[in-house]
Structure 1
């Protein structure tokens, strides 16, 4: 058995990997020897950044690591942005790359795809990067990677293999079974202390992040027993279901929730970094906690970032939720439902002038595609859905407007989600500016017949940056960009496409969407806004 063959066998038989994302190159061709017969699906994107975003979407939708095969040099520089997004959102991703022969490493000889140090390049976007110098060390380094995914705060891991090792002979391991690794459990005494503070609290508040998505039932039961208003991050959307009376949604950046947070005397934050793009989307540092803050996180350093800590517990969010439940055999009475209801009334999201035009958009999509996974880029419908949308389960909504905030994420990540969850509809929410970063992946969607609905919000440029320039007195430059005819472009890829201007047109289009390939639906932002204005005026006159 060669090192390359062992790699594929280990991924398939030890770690259950069923899908690889990659673009073959002369430096990785040996990895493909026998891959077709292995039963592992290989998906070829049109750019390595697309491979990374697909792996990211696959991982978020399934909970399993996304795995990429990447060539030396330009392949690594191309995928680095996708790794940055995955790192920011703690998404498990394994990037396996080639690197030049061992005897040429670091010598600057101008070899094909030579990069002085790929490990230095990816150091800031990976949990760790390893150069395999001994082929017999492959099982151990793969075990380290999956230990990160299972036992600590996940994120991308990079393993580079010199091209002269791919066909090196190796001995297969004595056992093919993967080790069982459990993440650390929070300290029992710490949980007891946290429970006592929550029991004594008059105005408790719960903040749940993406680390909790493995345990939605425990999360719902705990907040019910605590009778505490609860805000979720964008990556935790759906954790409490779509109609929980204590749910405040992902609205901690809005004044009504900020007031509630400021008044809370005890705050329980589990599996959330309390970061800016979830809690301070207006970027004024206005999310301030004055009560006792209890934080539970797999990452000890994260406990002391962003807000003043009173009690910190290092451990797995799912185990923390279950452990706290044991301290509350019966529900408390903290007037939480009433406090949450008052806060939601004050939010009045459907009447917010910046969000109201997107209410019929979200309602139509929920009505026609109730089980869909929503995957978004940085675009106006996504910003609105972050606040408006309620979903019945986690892992059904994620986007690139948080954390790293890269453009071009939505389309390829949606393809990854569709590959991971083929039984569910998937919606890609993209803008005319951001989609141009990775529009070539439309070819991938057509080739693999992925029935993703691509909802393209066309506002003729970079609207958010336009608005930011206007608000700061900067003359517009570089934001009113030329867009292609997306319908013609989609047709050239072999993708069915249409334009709609109203919710009824959108509903009809979605009801007749194809099931054997992608479907691009373009919405002209100006026409949609005009329809919303006219219908809002008509409703007001009738009332």
Structure 2
């Protein structure tokens, strides 16, 4: 059947398993909206392309399926580039499809014109290409979807000229189900790992975001008596009651001392970036065995294993079925964790008790999206997760305003399952308009707004650098009245028990609830 290419793209995506599109229509990309309803796609109308991108990111993290966004030429792309950069940093499968101008070299002054839209987008994604024909558009979409299951999951951008979107095009070819094609470990790699593990007296594993699909690590690690750390993204891979888990305190200086005592270190699915460690080197005194699907990561450290972390861990668990004895002592691990928790509490007074109370009142399986705020910085260290892949934070790119729209995307991807956002007062300003989307969709979404009245993390950094704090205080609105103007419910609890009651009610409400907290709640009786 012949349809305009813009409509065919929607039909093609639906045929490939895409169910939801996040975006904003405009005169340049309206042809992409022609086939939405006919194809059976759900469209979520964002209030800003940045919000659309974060929603698609949150949807992808919640479901494991690609998040897809439709945007317009020029400002649509520039507005969504921040979410693309975040998705690139955090390995999220985000597909951005935009319109673009038919000709830019010989014609100036057009609506939404950029000097080079394709090149601009490429600075924050895996690749960015222009599809000038239906065949090119179909091939690029299939390439993106295949790469999402065959390698490191990073955003792609496809730009389609307006005239091509409007022109009639044939159907895309049928496509079978996409299966994972991640690199598998060689038997020799597993044999080397097994021998190293059996020989080690103090083996230590580090799990990163690339290992978050490992959901059976607890019993295996206990059988081997292996100690472990997790990055922030991998919390929950190791059960919180594992007696030899050092937790997500990898960025604490004391972790380097622990690592220096290990005689085997294996890193599963982590590039050990600056935001994982906050120091130049890991601190291990032995060669590090790096397991990763990204060759660029493997070039950084010791003996590499180019394979999927899940497959390697699974094969290793079968290769070493016996119980192992090591020299790790649970009491030493407990002492380390207690020391680190006390450090967090001292650095950010009053937050740890709030984290504990909030954690204790959440329904089982709650998925959390957090923002760049001191509350989240503390929580990522002291808050143990029961299962992996249920706390999402803009770790690498470090953008503000992520949590609210990302949580909306996550809630759309998990209908009927509990989702929560945690955001600071300043970050809320960035994407507050997306609260209207949560109201419009009737999402039972608690939004924890932590208001310390300033950019406190930056203020404290300035003080440490002996800079007089400057430009760190902004005039805040009455956040509760603002949320109510959008049609949301609100609560401003003064005690931890009131907070817990408000959170429980928010999960039962027919719409979002902004729960306004200030630091005083942590010291309230």
The TM-score range, normalised by the shorter chain, is over 0.9
SS at the partner of 1:512? helix
Residue 356 of structure 2: which of 344, 360, 363 is its match?
363
Question: Are residues 277 and 174 of structure 1, via their aligned partners in 2, closer, same or farther at CA, if it must alter by over 3 Å?
Answer: closer
Distance in 1 (CA, whole Å) between partners of 2:61 and 2:344 is 32
Q: Select which of 293, 300, 318 maps to 1:326.
A: 318
- Rounded Cα–Cα distance in structure 2 between residues aligned with 1:148 and 1:420: 21
Kindly report which structure 2 residues correspond to 1:417-436, keeping only aligned pairs within 5 A, or say none.
417-436=410-429
Q: CA deviation at 1:356?
A: 5.9
Give the Å deviation of 1:146: 1.1
Which residue of structure 2 lines up, in the alignment, with residue 541 of structure 1? none
SS of 1:447's equivalent in the other structure is helix
Report deviation, 1:349.
4.1
Query: How many pairs are equivalent?
Result: 520
- The whole-number CA distance in structure 2 between the counterparts of 1:335 and 1:108 is 71
Find the aligned partners of 1:428 and 1:257 in 2 and give their Cα distance.
29
Q: Tell me the alpha carbon deviations over residues 219-278 of structure 1, each in whole angstroms, 9 at most, x when there is no partner.
A: 334423432111111111111233222322211112442211122121000100111112
* Residue 488 (structure 2) aligns with: 495
Alignment partner of 1:312 is 2:304: yes
Could you tell me how far apart the structure 2 residues matched to 1:75 and 1:351 are? 40
Q: Deviations over 1:168-189 (max 9, x none)?
A: 2333245332453411112221
Matching residue of 1:447: 440
2:28 — aligned with what? 27
Q: State how far apart, in whole Å, the 1-side matches of 2:341 and 2:178 are.
A: 50
Kindly indicate whether the alpha-carbon contact (under 8 Å) linking 1:206 and 1:230 is maintained by their aligned counterparts in 2.
yes
**TM-score normalised according to structure 1 size:** 0.92
Mark the CA change 1:179 to 1:86 in structure 2 (over 3 Å): closer, same or farther.
closer
* In 2: Cα distance, 1:410 partner to 1:260 partner: 33
- When structure 1 is superposed on structure 2, of 284-293 and 187-196 the one drifting more is 284-293
Matched, 1:462 2:463: no
Aligned: 1:192 with 2:191:
yes
- Indicate if the aligned counterparts of 2:190 and 2:316 stay in contact, CA closer than 8 A: yes
- Write the distance in 1 (CA, Å) between the matches of 2:305 and 2:344: 40
The verdict on how the C-alpha distance between 1:255 and 1:136 changes in structure 2, with shifts beyond 3 A counting, is closer
Counterparts of 2:397 and 2:164, CA distance in 1: 34
- Distance change in 2, residues 1:292/1:222 (3 Å): farther
1:205 aligns with 2:198: no
Query: 1: distance between equivalents of 2:466 and 2:502?
Result: 41
Q: For 2:327, which of 325, 328, 335 is the aligned residue?
A: 335
Tell which deviates more after alignment, 388-397 or 455-464.
388-397
Q: Aligned residue for 2:235?
A: 237
**Contact 1:237 1:390 (8 Å CA) reproduced:** yes
Taking the aligned partners of 2:344 and 2:116, their CA distance within structure 1 comes to: 53
> Is the Cα contact below 8 Å between 1:99 and 1:163 reproduced in 2?
yes
Higher mean displacement: 345-354 or 164-173: 345-354
> CA offset at residue 331 of structure 1?
2.2
Verify the 8 A CA contact 1:206 1:223 in the aligned structure 2: no
1:11 maps to 13
Is the 2:345–2:351 contact (alpha carbons within 8 Å) kept by the matching residues of 1? no
Q: Is the 2:28–2:72 contact (alpha carbons within 8 Å) kept by the matching residues of 1?
A: yes
The 8 Å contact of residues 374 and 427 in structure 1, kept in 2 or not, is answered as yes
CA RMSD of aligned residues (A): 1.8
2:286 paired with 1:291: yes
Structure 2 residue aligned with 1:385: 379
Q: Tell me, which stretches of 5 or more residues in structure 2 are unaligned?
A: none
- Once residues 430 and 164 of structure 1 are traced to their aligned partners in structure 2, the CA distance between those partners, rounded to angstroms, is 42
On the 8 A contact 1:208/1:272 being kept in 2, the answer is yes
Q: 1:335 to 1:424 in 2, by over 3 A?
A: farther
Is the 8 Å Cα contact of residues 256 and 346 (structure 1) preserved in structure 2?
A: no
CA 1:351–1:28: 2 relative to 1, 3 Å: closer
